[in-house]
């Protein structure tokens, strides 16, 4: 009797010590490694996969769709059980879905949202991300709140807000919707937004710095009442350009409020120094964790409704955004 009990106990102990995801191979395609936000995302996915005893391999798409398509082929040939894909071009996700479907491998898209028409062509295709319009709305609110509580922010005293918009890569849902909804939020707060300049800086700090440098020279920092950047890297690039003309170095009389999105460590740092007004948390940890949990459930046949994240419309996991400020300095 005692022997039977001990055997049963050992069996149960063995069961709980082997994670259900042991041995599962995940192939992860990142649009490019050289992206501060996607680095956070990647690290979160690796941490979660390791926690579950699964193996995750990340491939660098180098911002080139054909390169990424080849990586998808390689992962499938190597026998991965599930794919996580951050498409280079979200509108070109169909061939990726077709390949996954042909191999009967589930695919979880992240960060760059394929259209619902594309997602609907495969019952094992999902998307994990955050609502772009929400981040736009929150960053617009940050600027509106500042403008209302700081009368001196209306530099030309016309009651309107003269702003510069720095946009991410063309066609990205976060580029389109953040740009639109940030301005809408300012208008909804009762302030008339006036775009003095706007440009695409492709999510990139250096590109944003060069562009902003041009704007500072042609427009003059004293005529710029806000910079709205689609992400933190571009916000930081804009701040670099402002610092060249001795703006945003802590002097209240030489300041342009700049907002971004992501809440990357470097942005939080700039906020601590009083160089940057605020940002919106783009929760890479939660998105990365959710993507891996969903991928592992799909690969192992576990109920996807039991992973601790709500599945919306049978296809989506939405992680909320959050405003981040540092208050008065
Ligand atoms: C982030 C950007 C990032 C981009 C990559 C966006 O959600 O805010 O920082 O460059 O995703 O696709
Ligand atoms: Ca004004």
Q: What is the pLDDT of residues 76-104, one digit of tens each?
A: 999 999 999 999 999 999 999 999 999 99
Report yes or no on 329 lying in a domain.
no
Q: Give 202 Cα–ligand 1 centroid separation in angstroms.
A: 9
Q: Are residues 137 and 273 in the same domain?
A: yes
Report yes or no on 48 lying in a domain.
yes
The per-residue pLDDT for range 232-272, each reduced to its tens digit, is 999 999 999 999 999 999 888 999 999 999 999 999 999 99
Domain that holds residue 217: 132-281
Q: Are residues 262 and 137 in the same domain?
A: yes
Minimum CA distance residue for ligand 1 atom 8: 231
Report yes or no on 327 lying in a domain.
no
Q: Give 209 Cα–ligand 1 centroid separation in angstroms.
A: 17
Q: Is 279 in the pocket of ligand 1 (CB under 6 A)?
A: no
Q: Are residues 14 and 96 in the same domain?
A: yes
The H or E element that residue 322 is part of is strand 322-325
Report yes or no on 65 lying in a domain.
yes
Q: Is 261 in the pocket of ligand 1 (CB under 6 A)?
A: yes
Q: Are residues 147 and 77 in the same domain?
A: no
Question: DSSP string covering 268-301, please?
Answer: HHHHHTTS--EEEE--HHHHHHHHHHHHHHHHHT
Ligand nearest to the CA of 191: 2
Are 282 and 272 spatial neighbours (Cβ–Cβ below 8 Å)? no
Backbone angles phi, psi at 20, to 5 degrees: -65, -20
Q: Are residues 288 and 277 in the same domain?
A: no
The per-residue pLDDT for range 262-310, each reduced to its tens digit, is 999 999 999 999 999 999 999 999 999 999 999 999 999 999 999 999 9
Residue of 33, 37, 172 to mutate, ligand 1, most atoms within 8 A of C-beta: 37
Q: Are residues 315 and 240 in the same domain?
A: no
Q: Which residue has the tokens 């008339």?
A: 192
Question: Which tops the pLDDT comparison, 21 or 118?
Answer: 118
Q: Which residue has the tokens 């094992």?
A: 124
pLDDT band at 16 (very low <50, low <70, confident <90, very high): low
CATH of the domain at 212: 3.40.50.2300
Please identify, by atom number, the ligand 1 atom nearest to the C-alpha of residue 35: 10
The per-residue pLDDT for range 158-200, each reduced to its tens digit, is 999 999 999 999 999 999 999 999 999 999 999 999 999 999 9
Q: Is 111 in the pocket of ligand 1 (CB under 6 A)?
A: yes
Q: Are residues 288 and 271 in the same domain?
A: no
Report yes or no on 328 lying in a domain.
no
Ligand nearest to the CA of 279: 1
The per-residue pLDDT for range 25-62, each reduced to its tens digit, is 999 999 999 999 999 999 999 999 999 999 999 999 99
Report yes or no on 89 lying in a domain.
yes
Q: Are residues 71 and 139 in the same domain?
A: no
pTM of the prediction? 0.93
In the chain, the number of structural domains is 2
pLDDT > 70: percent of the chain = 93
Q: Are residues 56 and 154 in the same domain?
A: no
Q: Residue 329: pLDDT above 80? A: no
pLDDT band at 151 (very low <50, low <70, confident <90, very high): very high
Q: Are residues 8 and 149 in the same domain?
A: no
Report yes or no on 181 lying in a domain.
yes
């Amino acid at each position: 009797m005692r022997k039977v009990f001990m055997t049963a106990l050992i069996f149960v102990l063995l069961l709980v010590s082997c994670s259900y995801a042991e041995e599962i191979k995940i192939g992860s395609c990142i649009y490019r490694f050289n992206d501060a936000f996607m680095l956070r995302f990647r690290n979160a996915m690796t941490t979660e996969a390791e926690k579950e005893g699964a193996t995750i391999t990340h491939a660098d798409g180098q911002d080139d769709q054909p390169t990424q398509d080849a990586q998808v082929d390689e992962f499938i040939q190597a026998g991965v059980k599930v794919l996580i894909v951050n498409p280079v071009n979200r509108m070109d996700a169909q061939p990726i879905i077709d390949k996954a479907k042909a191999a009967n491998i589930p695919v979880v898209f992240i960060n760059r949202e394929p259209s619902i028409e594309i997602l609907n062509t495969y019952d094992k295709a999902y998307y994990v991300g955050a609502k772009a319009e929400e981040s736009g709305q929150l960053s617009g609110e940050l600027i509106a709140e500042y403008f209302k509580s700081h009368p001196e922010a209306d530099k030309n005293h016309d009651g309107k807000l003269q702003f510069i918009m720095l946009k991410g890569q063309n066609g990205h849902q976060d580029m389109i919707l953040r740009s639109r909804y940030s301005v809408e939020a300012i208008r909804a707060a009762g302030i008339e937004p006036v775009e003095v300049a706007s440009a695409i800086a492709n999510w990139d700090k250096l590109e944003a710095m060069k562009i902003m440098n041009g704007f500072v020279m042609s427009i003059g920092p004293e005529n710029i009442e806000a910079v709205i950047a689609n992400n933190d890297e571009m916000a930081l690039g804009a701040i670099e350009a402002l610092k060249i003309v001795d703006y945003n170095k802590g002097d209240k009389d030489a300041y342009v409020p700049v907002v971004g999105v992501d809440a990357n460590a470097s942005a939080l740092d700039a906020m601590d120094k009083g160089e940057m007004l605020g940002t919106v948390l783009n929760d890479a940890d939660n998105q990365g964790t959710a993507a891996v949990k969903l991928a592992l459930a799909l690969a192992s046949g576990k109920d996807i409704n039991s992973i601790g994240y709500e599945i919306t419309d049978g296809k989506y996991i939405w992680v909320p955004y959050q405003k981040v400020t540092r208050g008065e300095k």
